[in-house]
Amino acid sequence: MGVAQSLYTGVTGLSVAADGMSIVANNIANANAKGFKRDRAEFEDLLLRDLRTGAQSAKIGKGAHLANVQTMHTQGSLKVTDNLTDLAIQGSGFLVLAQPPGGAGQDSAGKMYTRAGALHFDKDGYFASSNGGRVQGYMADADGTLSARLTDIRIETNTIPPRATNNLKMNLQLDSRVDVMKESFDVKQPDKTSNFSTAMTVFDSQGRAHQVSVFLRKTNAGEDGIEWDWHALVDNKEVKDGDKSPFQEFGSGHLKFDKFGFIKDETTNKNTVNFSNGAFPGQTIKFDFGKRPPVDGIEPTDRGAGATTSIAGNSVTVFHQQDGYEAGQLSSLKIGEDGIATGIFTNGIQRTLAGIGLATFSNQDALEKAGNNVFISNPTSGPANIGMPKTGLRGSLFSSSLEESNVDLAQEFVDMITTQRSFQANSRSITTTDSLMEDIINLKR
């Protein structure tokens, strides 16, 4: 019985060696597969029977078997590519994929997980993997605020609608040395009845650009400070209620500066304009001439573009900004390390479009490989904990990069040699046992 059993013990050794060689061969075959994680064979011994001889006992093993194939989730090196939608993960996270409706593929709770970040936008605008799985994340609304609902990432439109100018901020330096203007402001001769002018572009509700000229005139100078009036003009041809004069005044107000030349108060008399050619009527533009300085250590509540001043220096426009823009087409996309996908449009606007989700697991070693470089979860791995990159232990995303496999070819070749030697040794135990059995058979001769 014992001699015959050693034959079967040798067979188990051949079997586990063959399994080990298959695992090594699979690792080598996927050495260049992006995001691939190598496997490691884990073997256990088998016990046949317990021999008892008096007070002592002896256990005879009957060989070995493949107990587990362990996936090694070590970090692979990152390779830079020239594709903006290639993503590599530095950390423990997994990209979350969902099959499209009617799609074929094994999944768990409708989701699959991968480290292979060779992604693209499909014909319907969905962010997808090479096998068609749709990348999961959080879509943003028109204001760039991310939703809390996990869904397919889709760039639904490549056009951003226009936005009318509502706020116009300016930071000016007005020369306090100029003379006070005695005559009234004349819209027909604005240059001759003002001390300084500046121009900027605003947009109506249709996204058309209009040039607004702001003329400023010094009206008073005393011990308490200096005062200026301002007048906002637009071309009469661009408004509905224009006349034959070159300009229409649609905005005016008053600025007061303290004895140090800092803006103390600003008032607006009017600031509404009716642009023509289908623009929404009654467009109100708020003029903001800057941040008021602290008074007795108390910061002002109105924080504008900067501190407009009136001191002894040449008049100059330091800064101006407005919040309108024309319609724009999506020209480029960038994805940050935090997973935020930002669209860059032809009108210069950058808008948050989506956030890419990453998943972590309590026991990632228990994830099951499902082919196509994807994993599925199971009760042993625990449920997926999905959130944004750079939160928890999910790691960071790097665009225009791919993660290489973590296969070390030198280590695999060493494992191949040891596996081959194991197979040879087990084959020798079988041939030796065969010789023993032949000697037993020859005993009757």
What residues does each domain of the chain span? 2-73+406-444, 78-160+330-403, 167-322
Can you tell me the distance from the alpha carbon of 216 to that of 378, in angstroms, rounded to the nearest whole number?
72
- Least confident window among 109-113, 267-271, 297-301, 370-374: 297-301
* pLDDT score at 331: 87
What's the chain's length in residues? 445
Instruction: Assess whether pLDDT exceeds 60 at residue 104.
Output: no
How much is the pLDDT for 250?
A: 95
* Contact indicator for 416, 424 with CB cutoff of 8 Å: no
Mean of pLDDT over the chain: 87
Q: How far apart are CA 229 and CA 195, in angstroms?
A: 10
pLDDT of residue 166: 96
For residue range 40-89, list pLDDT tens digits in order: 988 877 766 555 555 555 677 777 878 888 899 999 999 999 998 999 99
The 10 Å CB-count burial string (b at 16+, else e) for 201-216 is ebbbbebbebebbbbb
The tens digit of pLDDT for each residue in 352-404 reads 999 999 999 999 999 999 888 899 999 999 999 999 999 988 999 999 999 99
Return contacts of 240-246, CB within 8 angstroms, 24+ apart. 240/274, 240/275, 240/276, 240/281, 241/274, 242/276, 245/187, 245/188, 246/188
Using the predicted structure, report yes or no on whether residue 178 has a pLDDT greater than 60.
yes
By CB neighbour count within 10 A (0-12 exposed, 13-18 middle, 19+ buried), where does 76 fall?
buried
pLDDT at 124 over 60: yes
Helix 2-29 to helix 409-441 angle, to the nearest 10 degrees? 160
Confidence (pLDDT) at 303: 44
Q: How far apart are CA 76 and CA 217, in angstroms?
A: 67
pLDDT tens figures, 244-277? 889 999 999 999 998 888 888 899 999 999 999 8
Pick the residue with more confidence: 282 or 107? 282
For residues 185-213, average pLDDT = 95
Q: Could you tell me the two tokens for 73? A: 């989730």
pLDDT at residue 304 tops 50: no
- Identify which has the larger pLDDT, 103 or 363: 363
What's the confidence (pLDDT) of residue 62?
76
pLDDT-derived band at 30, boundaries 50, 70, 90: very high
Q: Is residue 8 pLDDT above 70, yes or no? A: yes
Q: Which tokens is 236 given?
A: 């009469």
- Report the distance separating Cα 221 and Cα 380, nearest Å: 81
Architecture of domain 167-322: Sandwich (2.60)
Give dist(CA 250, CA 254) in Å, integer: 14
pLDDT at 419: 87
Q: What is the pLDDT of residue 271?
A: 95
Average pLDDT of 313-342? Answer: 92
- Are the C-beta atoms of residues 187 and 197 closer than 8 Å to each other? no
Strand partners, 334: 342
Q: What distance in Å separates the CA atoms of residue 397 and residue 390, rounded to the nearest whole number?
A: 8
User: What does the alpha-carbon distance between residue 217 and residue 233 come to, in Å, rounded to a whole number?
Assistant: 14
Q: Quick one: pLDDT at residue 3?
A: 72
Is the pLDDT score of 224 beyond 50?
yes
Tokens 């008032």 belong to which residue? 267
pLDDT of residue 135: 95
Instruction: Please determine, for residue 301, whether its predicted confidence score (pLDDT) is greater than 70.
Output: no
Q: What is the mean pLDDT of residues 128-145?
A: 91
The pLDDT value given to residue 322? 94
> 304 or 251, which is more confident?
251
Whether 109 shows a pLDDT value over 70: the answer reads no
**Using an 8 Å Cβ cutoff, are 138 and 145 in contact?**
no
- Percentage of the chain exceeding pLDDT 90: 59
